[in-house]
Amino acid sequence: MKLLIQYAFSFLHQPYKWGGDDPTGFDCSGLVQEILKSVGADPPGDQTAHELFKFFQKYGTPCGATPGALAFFGTPQKIKHVGFCIDHIRMIDAAGGGPKVETLSDAAQHNAFVKLSLIERRPDFLTCYKPTYKRLTPIV
């Protein structure tokens, strides 16, 4: 798990980009999918935060905020955000943006990037699910 968390940390300060799924720009679900993909735990296809929630609700393990868990925000009917837990109080997430953040300039203007955040900073925290990891060493 330590190597996976180190891999997640490698994306800190990368810009936020709506719909982004690579280091040139990530949105919340794109970042989580990149982390999961590195260890063979990414669901097939491009997933929104809500689709990741539905998938891991079915195939993950409910848990508290623990290293490697995914933290979901919103309501069961509409998940608005997802982050990757690094411990019981912090997560790495792509945040600060929205649908209008499509360029590096937009990201800078909105202070939107991959950051270390407190899970409790968001009042809409819903739950965490732990994916089943096939391997814990990222293949990059």
User: 38 is written with which tokens?
Assistant: 């590195």
Helix (H, G, I), strand (E, B) or coil at 2: helix
Contacts of 138 (CB under 8 A, 6+ apart): 3, 4, 7, 38, 39
DSSP string, 69-80: -EEEEEETTEEE
Give kind and range of the element (H or E) at residue 92.
strand 90-95
Q: How far is CA 32 from the centre of its chain?
A: 3
Flag whether 135 is in a domain: no
Q: What is the pLDDT of residues 35-44, one digit of tens each?
A: 999 999 999 8
Flag whether 138 is in a domain: no
Flag whether 92 is in a domain: yes
CATH number at residue 40: 3.90.1720.10
User: What's the total number of domains in the chain?
Assistant: 1
- Write out the residue range of the structural domain in which residue 86 sits: 2-130
At 139 the pLDDT is 73
SS (H, E, C) 3-35: HHHHHHHCCCCCEECCCCEECCEECHHHHHHHH
Name the pLDDT band for 135 (thresholds 50, 70, 90): low
Flag whether 119 is in a domain: yes
Flag whether 84 is in a domain: yes
Burial 17-37, CB ≥16 within 10 A → b, else e:
bbebbeeebbbbbbbbbbbbe
Flag whether 88 is in a domain: yes
Q: What is the pLDDT of residues 42-57, one digit of tens each?
A: 998 889 999 999 999 9
